[in-house]
Amino acid sequence: MTQIQKPRIGITLGDYNGVGPEVVIKALADNRLLNLVTPVLYGSGKVISFYKKLLNVDEFNFSQVRNKGQFAPKSINVVNSWGDDAGEIIPGKASKESGKASFIALKQASEELKEGIIDALVTAPIDKHTIHSDEFPFKGHTEFLTQFFEASESLMFMISEKLRVGLVTEHIPVKDIAAAITKEKIEAKLKVMDASLRKDFGIIKPKIAVLGLNPHAGDNGLLGLEEEQIIRPLISDQKNKGRLVFGPFPADGFFAAGTYLKYDGVLAMYHDQGLVPFKSVAFEDGVNFTAGLPVVRTSPDHGTGYAIAGKNQAHEGSMREAIYKAAEIFKHRNEPSKEK
């Protein structure tokens, strides 16, 4: 295939009453990014102009996209996904109008990603409550994109320079976690993580740590049987297949002792088990990557931040890293084949 010098990175503004527009503007105000990627913002020039003025950011210019797919390679491109009647911009206020607008932008960006008009997608935070509708009955971006791109399995993969954490279960109540931990589910997530580490990060022989579900990883069955009956046998099976999979590790000591530094990826059993240590280690530069999709999608590792929206307090580090990582992973996937 033809090598694209500068990946066209689509960026959705997310909920325009949250910190999404602010972190996008701040990240792209760093002109060095324009040397590496062609940014394409899906949302509204009106929203960008509103926050540019509110944040008093003078050094931020953009081009309105007039014709589909015609982007200025040395500029920030803005696609007007919705009309001027999408609702009032009120930083910090959740509204159905802003939720609907965030879905319209996400849908358009996803369609253009599927068509190959853009090369990768970075999504700013949405409000899971206001975006929810008959058209968006999902718990978040990951579930929507998994269905939209018809992936059989995906993995919420939190990545940073020091730590990569994937989740077996994602946005489900704590009371339902144990029942959702099955051999088949863990095996499917391990398969996606292993393939992603090879294809997306160039690691030829990935070394993966698996955490236990229970305190002390079950303490030999005293504190739960999932480790002995499900997780440990699965790890043995993976080793017999020649994969470098280790565990199950008690989560507290594993992170406290820095053991995670010895592994290319860590598979956590549930949301907070993986995300609490991840955000403690990499909150300002952590990135949420959806592994297992036929396309590249990343996002910052934070939410809408209504409490600080419009106050010039949001840190853009995670958004900047999300853009960098989207470009890096896209390039990894399009490098000439080498031994995996």
pLDDT in tens, 8-51: 999 999 999 999 999 999 999 988 899 999 999 999 999 999 99
| Residue with token string 């095996």 | 187
> How far is 285 from 322, CA to CA, in rounded Å?
8
For residue 285, the model assigns a pLDDT of 87
| Same domain? 147 vs 173 | no
Q: Over 50: is that where the pLDDT of 218 sits?
A: yes
Tell whether 200 and 249 lie within a shared domain.
yes
Asked if 160 contacts 287 with a C-beta cutoff of 8 angstroms, the reply is yes
Are 95 and 161 within one domain?
no
What residues make up the domain containing 246?
154-290
**Residues 69 and 136 occupy one common structural domain:** yes
Q: Are residues 204 and 158 in the same domain?
A: yes
Residue type, 1: M
User: Do residue 146 and residue 1 come from a single domain?
Assistant: yes
Q: What is the pLDDT of residue 70?
A: 95
Tell me the residue type at 102. S
CA-based torsion, 319, 166, 275, 256: positive or negative? negative
The pTM of this model reads 0.93
Handedness of CA 215, 220, 223, 227 (dihedral sign): positive
Q: Are residues 101 and 227 in the same domain?
A: no
φ, ψ for residue 318 (rounded to 5)? Answer: -65, -40
Query: For the domain that residue 203 is a member of, what is the CATH number?
Result: 3.40.718.10
159's enclosing H/E stretch is strand 155-159
pLDDT at 340 exceeding the cut of 50: no
The rounded distance, in Å, linking the Cα atoms of 48 and 54 is: 10
d(CA 322, CA 300): 6
- Residue 288's closest CA among 192, 177, 155, 131? 155
Q: What's the CA dihedral at 125, 37, 160, 188 to 10 degrees?
A: 80
**Mean pLDDT over residues 126-132, rounded?**
96
Asked if residue 123 lies in contact with residue 8, where contact means CB atoms within 8 angstroms, the answer is no
What total of structural domains would you count in the chain? 2
Supply the pLDDT for residue 284: 83
The model's pLDDT over 249-297, given as tens digits with 9 standing for 90+, comes to: 999 999 999 999 999 999 999 999 999 999 999 988 899 999 999 999 9
pLDDT at 203: 96
How confident is residue 200, by pLDDT bands cut at 50, 70 and 90?
very high
> Which one, of 97, 99, 126, 121, lies nearest residue 109 by Cα?
121
pLDDT category, 338, cuts 50, 70, 90? Answer: very low
- Residue that terminates a domain, selected from 254, 275, 290: 290
What DSSP designation does 14 have? -
Same domain, 252 and 276: yes
Distance of CA 190 to the CA centre of its chain: 18
H/E stretch holding 165 reads strand 164-167
Helix H segments across 56-182? 96-114, 141-148, 177-180
Q: Based on the domain organization, do 34 and 109 belong to the same domain? A: yes
Token pair listed for 74: 């040395």
The answer on 159 and 137 residing in a single domain is no
Considering the domain architecture, whether residues 51 and 4 belong to the same structural domain is answered as yes
Given a contact cutoff of 8 angstroms between Cβ atoms, the answer to whether 227 and 214 are in contact is: yes
Residues 145 and 66 both lie in one domain? yes
